[in-house]
Amino acid sequence: MPKIHNVVIPGEDRFAPFALTIRVGDIVTWTNQDTDDHTIVSDDVVNSTGPLAINQLLPAGQSVSLRFCHEGLWVYYCRLHATLNAYGQPISPGPAGGIPGLPMSGVIAILPRKNKHY
């Protein structure tokens, strides 16, 4: 059976946990506990696995789930709380990335299955 992993957006602009390690076939569910809407956007410039072209709105109080079918690294961010630089990479919002800190982002490492029979 695939395992379900949870990422929450607490009442602030961040994903918790920021980094997650899962196995091929597992599901990640994001739950927005904030009062603001957020998004889950795949950073396909750097990702070594799919799903690709994800740009999912996550309204306040809602959840969204994705299943990961291949091993690799999957980076994502909130397009409402990040600005893209000239290379299409998220930087902290504000004039020229002027706000200190990181953009609202996260990373998932997908490892091979332990048991290939399920």
pLDDT at 80: 84
pLDDT at 89: 78
pLDDT at 67: 98
Core vs surface per residue 73-82: b (16+ CB within 10 A) or e:
ebbbbbbebb
Note the pTM of the prediction, 2 decimals: 0.86
1-54 pLDDT, tens digit each:
899 999 999 988 889 999 999 999 999 999 999 999 999 999 999 999 999 999
Q: Is 34 exposed, middle or buried (0-12, 13-18, 19+ CB in 10 A)?
A: middle
Task: Tell me the fold of 4-111.
Answer: Immunoglobulin-like (2.60.40)
- Interval 58-99: pLDDT, tens: 999 999 999 999 999 999 999 888 777 777 778 765 555 444
Domain boundaries, the chain: 4-111
pLDDT score recorded for residue 85: 77
- pLDDT score at 82: 78
Give the integer Cα–Cα distance in Å for 89 and 27.
Answer: 25
Q: Distances in Å between the alpha carbon of 12 and those of 4, 86, 97?
A: 23, 27, 19
SS3 58: strand
Which of 114, 109, 94 has its CA nearest to residue 47? 109
